[in-house]
Amino acid sequence: MNQFIMLGCLWLGACAMAFSQQQTNGVNYQLGPIPSVHKPLAENSVPMGNIQTFEEVKLDLPITSGPYEPTWKSIEANYPGTPEWLRDSKFGIWIHFGPQSAGESGDWYARKMYVEGTPAYENHLKNYGHPSEVGYKEVLRDWNPKKFNPKALVDIYKDAGARFLIIQSVHHDQFDMWDSKYQPWNSTRLGPKRDLIGEWEKAVRKAGIRFGLTFHHEYSWWWWQTAFQSDTKGDKKGVPYDGNLTLADGKGKWWEGLDPKYLYGINLREYETVAEAANSRWSPPQAGIFSDHLEYAEWYAKWWALRMMDAVDKYNPDFIYTDGTDQQPFSGSGTGTGYKCDAMQRVIADFYNKTLDRRGKLLYHRFSFYSRQRWGHLCLVYDCAKGW
């Protein structure tokens, strides 16, 4: 499933007004550890909380100071409109590249390798081993694209006529492709041990074209629920896959010190339709709130936002993209199922304010790829990309 938003293109208009207030932003925020959660209950035994009666949570998460407040009203009021450079560029290239390519089973390999009988599952058995013993974390450890050369690729793309690139920063697999402050499972610590986004940024800037970063990790907390399953038949029947491992289980192993919860998340299969959705080709769980995991949900939403803020702070992209359906992230429905909060508004406001602070005006508008136009907010560039 690929329906996207390109989150607000930062357009540099002359409306900056020299906002030189002292900066307070999310990248200085000290996010606490993953909250403790109760032992998983029986699968499909807990009803989802009602999104109609659950009030949107206003996160205690600082953003960069500036005219944009973390509300749709403020963002729309200050939004300068769709950037001319985007229309003039006409042609850009999407870089959908990451460790899931190692599985040679599609861009959802990480999820499907835990679904018994799928091509991804069979390929994983053949190339790596059983997912109860050798899971996706081992794929990350072994992934090493030695011939990856972003400069050579950017030169090819520019010669082909591309005037902007859209570069994947993190897919649903939760693996950050940069020197991530908030995600220890990242490309500088595992696999290639390289700051891949940093390398892309240098190559793109040298070529003189624009670039954006994409983020697909909002709904990873229910996307990853296949990792908590086990085989239903054969010699490994009932043996849990490695998503069930804990930090303590890593003692003496190659991944000691890396908590699997930061990769696979937590087991949420007790909620109605979550397990069913995990094994579908593409279908979010039914709309609702993970009402017995609210502390974790708030932590997760902050973690989602902070990682985006961190990448923006480090690489200063011209635009960003968030993946999802036509619902707002953390809306309680669609890909935003599970929680309701203002994480998206905070990310957008922080991005716009940071660009004003750095460039003096909203020169480049950011935008986010997906059909969230239905939000009704006139502060994002609408786009829709679909494919199977």
Q: Identify the pLDDT of residue 385.
A: 62
Cβ-Cβ contacts under 8 Å for 156 (sequence gap 6 or more): none
Asked whether residue 164 carries a pLDDT value surpassing 80, the answer given is yes
The rounded distance, in Å, linking the Cα atoms of 197 and 167 is 8
Q: Under a CB-based contact definition with an 8 Å cutoff, are residues 373 and 379 in contact?
A: no
Q: Under a CB-based contact definition with an 8 Å cutoff, are residues 165 and 157 in contact?
A: yes
Asked whether residue 89 carries a pLDDT value surpassing 60, the answer given is yes
Percent of the chain with pLDDT over 90: 75
pTM of this prediction? 0.91
Q: Tell me, what DSSP letter sits at residue 370? A: B
Q: Under a CB-based contact definition with an 8 Å cutoff, are residues 136 and 208 in contact?
A: no
| pLDDT tens sequence across 112-137 | 999 999 999 999 999 999 999 999 99
Asked whether residue 9 carries a pLDDT value surpassing 60, the answer given is no
Q: Which tops the pLDDT comparison, 20 or 111?
A: 111
> Mean pLDDT throughout 275-293?
93
**How would residue 26 be classed by pLDDT, with cut points 50, 70 and 90?**
low
Asked whether residue 13 carries a pLDDT value surpassing 90, the answer given is no
Q: Which secondary structure element, helix H or strand E, spans residue 320, and what is its range?
A: strand 319-323
Asked whether residue 196 carries a pLDDT value surpassing 80, the answer given is yes
C-beta neighbour count of 310 within 10 angstroms: 21
Q: Which tops the pLDDT comparison, 54 or 83?
A: 54
Q: Under a CB-based contact definition with an 8 Å cutoff, are residues 107 and 216 in contact?
A: no
**Token digits of residue 330:** 């953390």
Residue 297 Cα distances to 67, 174, 176, 233, 348, angstroms? 29, 16, 20, 34, 20
**How would residue 12 be classed by pLDDT, with cut points 50, 70 and 90?**
very low
Tell me the torsion sign for CA atoms 71, 4, 57, 319.
negative
Asked whether residue 375 carries a pLDDT value surpassing 60, the answer given is no
Q: Under a CB-based contact definition with an 8 Å cutoff, are residues 302 and 347 in contact?
A: no
| pLDDT tens sequence across 345-366 | 999 999 999 988 887 766 544 4
Cβ-Cβ contacts under 8 Å for 110 (sequence gap 6 or more): 100, 103, 136, 139, 171, 172, 173, 224
Q: Identify the pLDDT of residue 82.
A: 74
Q: Identify the pLDDT of residue 366.
A: 45
Q: Identify the pLDDT of residue 365.
A: 46
Q: Where are the domains of the chain?
A: 4-98+147-375
> Mean pLDDT throughout 323-350?
91
Q: Identify the pLDDT of residue 362.
A: 61
> Mean pLDDT throughout 89-93?
92
Q: Identify the pLDDT of residue 47.
A: 99
For 4-98+147-375, which CATH class? alpha beta
Say which residue the tokens 């050798």 belong to. 134
Asked whether residue 18 carries a pLDDT value surpassing 60, the answer given is no
